[in-house]
């Protein structure tokens, strides 16, 4: 998987950085990049939180490669749900930004 990742094509558009397999990049860049930017804008407004720094999105042609790059820590999803359920969006956003709450698959946890 790491050997194939070295060959991925990287597209940067503002805060969105996307990596595609060379076989899929020509088609996927036309759809995925605008979709990712729209999703980032929509979710930032919905949660009243704008992430800082680039947002890395990797698109894998094989499911097993995706599985290798995904990680999460047990219990963090329950804590996040509890904070959101109690209407503490700002506190959740601050915790995520400060690294106190790690979200499954976020760029910091996948490097």
> What single string gives the DSSP state of each residue in 12-66?
EETTEEEEE-TTTHHHHHHHHHHHHHHHHHHHHHHHT----S-EEEEE-SSHHHH
Residue-wise pLDDT for 36-55, tens only, equals 999 999 988 998 888 887 88
Residue 101 per-residue DSSP state: S
Residue-wise pLDDT for 50-91, tens only, equals 888 788 888 888 767 666 665 544 555 565 566 556 555 566
* Tokens 């996927």, residue located: 28
Q: Which of 29, 50, 25, 30 is nearest to 40 (CA)?
A: 50
Domain boundaries of the chain, sorted by first residue: 1-69, 71-111
Q: Which tops the pLDDT comparison, 24 or 89?
A: 24
In this prediction, residue 111 has a pLDDT band, given cuts at 50, 70 and 90, of very low
CA 8, CA 19: separation in Å to the nearest integer? 6
């Amino acid at each position: 998987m790491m050997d194939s990742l070295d060959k991925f094509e990287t597209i940067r558009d503002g805060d969105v950085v996307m990596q595609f397999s060379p076989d899929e990049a020509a088609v996927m860049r036309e759809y995925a990049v605008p979709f990712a930017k729209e999703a980032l804008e929509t979710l930032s407004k919905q949660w009243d939180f704008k992430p800082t720094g680039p947002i890395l999105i990797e698109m894998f042609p094989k499911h097993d490669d995706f599985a290798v790059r995904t990680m999460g820590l047990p219990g963090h999803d329950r804590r996040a749900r509890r904070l959101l359920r109690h209407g503490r969006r700002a506190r959740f956003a601050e915790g995520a930004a400060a690294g106190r709450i790690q979200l499954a698959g976020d760029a910091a946890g996948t490097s």
